[in-house]
């Protein structure tokens, strides 16, 4: 496993992290706790040192699983978690009041079985709380030794700049992949200017870029993708064209489409650290090999040309959730 630093910070992590959300929330039923712990520990044994969770994943249970799984080697890993929803429930709305940030930090420390949170993200920008107050509260938590680094998730450029002026932002986490490239327009140049690392979530397009999902796939009733416009059967059929062109390129590199998609992200910038998630050991192993694939400038140009010929159909969030991003 190769390692990277997130921006100008000294926070060094594995080139690929593990997004732990899907183990207990969002993408179908939670898997067995023992199975989840074994998968997280397998990731560590294979060189992963960066693990992503949040109080809202469950809510709460994902942090407990991550904390238990990583307890034996806590000092050798980086744990990122998040605050910002009312009582940890996404659909209940936002809450980044300073008193709530502090309450979440204390509760997360207990669930994660640790005395410090390595990276503490605001999960979504809260329009009712000045971002300066949010950054100031996390700055105070850092001074108190309860948090090491400050992060933002799905924040727009003005919020990033305002927060960074109060407390340096170590990382921005947002969706970014070959089928969602909006961050390239304004966000990535801003991060490069300010020296902030970038942590793409859903780097495999919520599973679509693996090639394992098609128009006929039936999702469990608890799966978030049921309400995502991009995942209607009609849009999946249209978006298959992107997977097909990537699969042809991957085959020439003796790689899977998932590995190609991750290698492409890693080749974008040296301060980008994707966090693919999975519930399956063989998928974990497949994803991690994506970090071993070296793409030449010619490879990247081929991917660029192929992707440019496909227009991805469907919004990435339902309207209610879309309003919470890029503020």
Which residues belong to the active site? 57
CA of residue 263 relative to chain centroid, distance: 16
Token pair recorded at residue 82: 């998040």
Q: What is the spatial distance between Cα 245 and Cα 225, in angstroms, rounded to a whole number? A: 23
Report the interhelical angle of 297-308 vs 257-268 (nearest 10°).
Answer: 110
Q: What is the spatial distance between Cα 107 and Cα 270, in angstroms, rounded to a whole number? A: 33
Instruction: Please check whether residue 63 is in contact with residue 303, taking contact to mean a CB–CB distance below 8 angstroms.
Output: no
Q: What is the spatial distance between Cα 174 and Cα 19, in angstroms, rounded to a whole number? A: 12
Max Cα–Cα distance, the chain, nearest Å: 54
Q: What is the spatial distance between Cα 69 and Cα 169, in angstroms, rounded to a whole number? A: 27
Other beta carbons less than 10 A from residue 183's beta carbon: 22
Which residues, 6+ apart, have CB-to-CB distance to 167 below 8 Å? Answer: 135, 136, 138, 139, 142, 150
Q: What pairing do the DSSP bridges indicate for beta strands 169-175 and 78-83?
A: unpaired
- What is the residue-wise DSSP string for 81-95? EEE-BGGG-GGG-B-
Q: What is the spatial distance between Cα 33 and Cα 326, in angstroms, rounded to a whole number? A: 34
Instruction: Please check whether residue 151 is in contact with residue 120, taking contact to mean a CB–CB distance below 8 angstroms.
Output: yes
Q: What is the spatial distance between Cα 31 and Cα 14, in angstroms, rounded to a whole number? A: 25
Which one-letter DSSP state was computed for residue 272? B
């Amino acid at each position: 496993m190769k390692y990277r630093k997130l921006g100008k910070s000294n926070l060094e992590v594995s080139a690929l992290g593990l997004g732990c959300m899907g183990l207990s929330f969002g993408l179908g039923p939670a898997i067995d706790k023992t199975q989840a712990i074994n998968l997280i520990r397998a990731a560590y044994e294979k060189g992963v040192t960066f693990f992503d969770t949040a109080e809202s994943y469950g809510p709460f249970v994902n942090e407990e699983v991550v904390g238990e799984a990583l307890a034996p080697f806590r000092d050798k890993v980086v744990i990122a978690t998040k605050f910002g929803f009312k009582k940890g429930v996404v659909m209940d709305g936002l809450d980044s009041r300073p008193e709530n940030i502090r309450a979440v930090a204390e509760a997360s420390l207990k669930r994660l079985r640790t005395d410090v949170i390595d990276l503490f993200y605001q999960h979504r920008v809260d329009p009712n709380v000045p971002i300066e107050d949010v950054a100031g509260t996390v700055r105070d938590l850092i001074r108190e030794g309860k948090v090491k680094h400050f992060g933002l998730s799905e924040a727009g450029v003005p919020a990033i700049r305002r927060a960074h002026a109060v407390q340096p932002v170590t990382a921005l986490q947002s969706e970014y992949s070959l089928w969602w490239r909006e961050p390239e327009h304004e966000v990535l140049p801003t991060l490069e200017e300010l020296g902030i690392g970038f942590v793409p979530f859903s780097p495999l397009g919520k599973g679509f870029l693996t090639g394992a999902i098609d128009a006929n796939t039936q999702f469990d009733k608890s799966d978030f993708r049921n309400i995502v416009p991009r995942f209607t059967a009609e849009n999946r059929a249209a978006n298959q064209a992107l997977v097909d062109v990537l699969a042809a390129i991957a085959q020439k590199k003796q790689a899977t489409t998932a590995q190609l998609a991750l290698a492409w992200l890693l080749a974008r910038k040296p301060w980008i650290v994707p966090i693919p998630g999975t519930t399956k050991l063989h998928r974990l192993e497949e994803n991690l090999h994506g970090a071993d694939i070296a793409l030449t400038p010619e490879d990247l140009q081929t991917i660029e040309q192929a992707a440019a010929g496909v227009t991805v159909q469907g919004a990435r969030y339902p309207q209610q959730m879309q309003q919470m991003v890029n503020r």
